[in-house]
Amino acid sequence: MLGGRLLLRLCYYYDMVVVSVDRDKCIGCGLCTGTCSECFEMGGDNIARAIKNKCDTCDLKEIADACPVSAITVK
Ligand code: F3S
């Protein structure tokens, strides 16, 4: 928990973006992984996870907005 807060503060300080998927919300629809496989991957449990925080080929905010259950956070 403390590590996560520290990471967020550092990212804010350095103007970095952090992308995360809420495992409790994700229903495994595959929209994010299908849109950008460089940034998201599907786990064996059919729950997506973010693997990059920055991408030159997709709009992470747009993908987050398109997630049907709002499981993706871009901070
Ligand atoms: Fe899950 Fe949303 Fe992606 S439901 S598979 S995080 S688009």
Q: For residue 66, how many C-alpha atoms fall within 13 Å in the half-sphere facing its CB? A: 14
pLDDT at 16: 75
pLDDT at 63: 97
Q: How far is the CA of 49 from the centre of ligand 1 (A)?
A: 8
Please report the beta strands in the chain, taking only residues with DSSP state E, as ranges in sequence order: 19-21, 40-42, 48-50, 72-74
**Angstrom distances, CA of residue 21 to CA of 13, 37, 60:** 22, 14, 12
Rg (the chain; Cα; Å): 12
- Residues having CB closer than 6 A to ligand 1 are 21, 26-32, 48, 67-69, 71-72
Domains of the chain: 17-74 (3.30.70.20)
- Across the strands, what pairs with 19? 74
Low-confidence ranges of the chain (pLDDT < 70): 1-15
pTM attached to this predicted model: 0.81
